[in-house]
Amino acid sequence: MKHDKDLIQLLYNECCDIWKNFCEYHNELYQLACQEYTLLLNSQIEDLEECIKIKEALIIKIGDEDSRRFHFIQSINSKFPETQIEKARDLIDFFETQIGDNLLSRYNNLLIDVIENIQVQNKRNKIFLNKALYSLNQLKRDFHGKPSVETYDKTGQRHSVVK
């Protein structure tokens, strides 16, 4: 069913703006995750702390934009009760049917790619931190004169044995 073209175009532009902001914020988040990894590798702890503060502020901005997206979808659902939008794909399909443009779909695909890259980078950061913590724990045990050996039982549980 076709609706008022001007209203739909206005809503579509607002929706594209929301998705554009998501893409920009998530791209910035990805850049910060990469910077975080570089700072970890270079042991620049003070700079890392500042990077984490910036990252936390950006995550708040993403949360605000997500709230905006939620209210926007509620608004669409109230204006067009026959079209109940529950997820992003429903919203994309609604606008593609009404307008025939796929800019929103392209923004969504870009957003998915950036989020996947963030997840991969966060995994790298986590692996680095886990290795660093393991090394620190080993140094601490060796420093205190309590060398230990870690073994695994048949269920995969780790056990430390002090020599």
CATH of residue 81's domain is 1.20.58.300
User: Domain span at residue 146?
Assistant: 5-162
Three-class DSSP category at 5: helix
List, for residues 78-98, the tens digit of each pLDDT value: 999 888 899 999 999 999 999
Neighbour-count burial of 19, counting CB atoms closer than 10 A to its CB (0-12 exposed, 13-18 middle, 19+ buried):
buried
List, for residues 28-65, the tens digit of each pLDDT value: 999 999 999 898 888 888 888 899 999 999 999 999 99
CB proximity list for 69: less than 8 A, separation 6 or greater:
18, 22
Distance between CA 93 and CA 83 in Å, rounded? 10
pTM above 0.85, yes or no: no
Domain count along the chain: 1
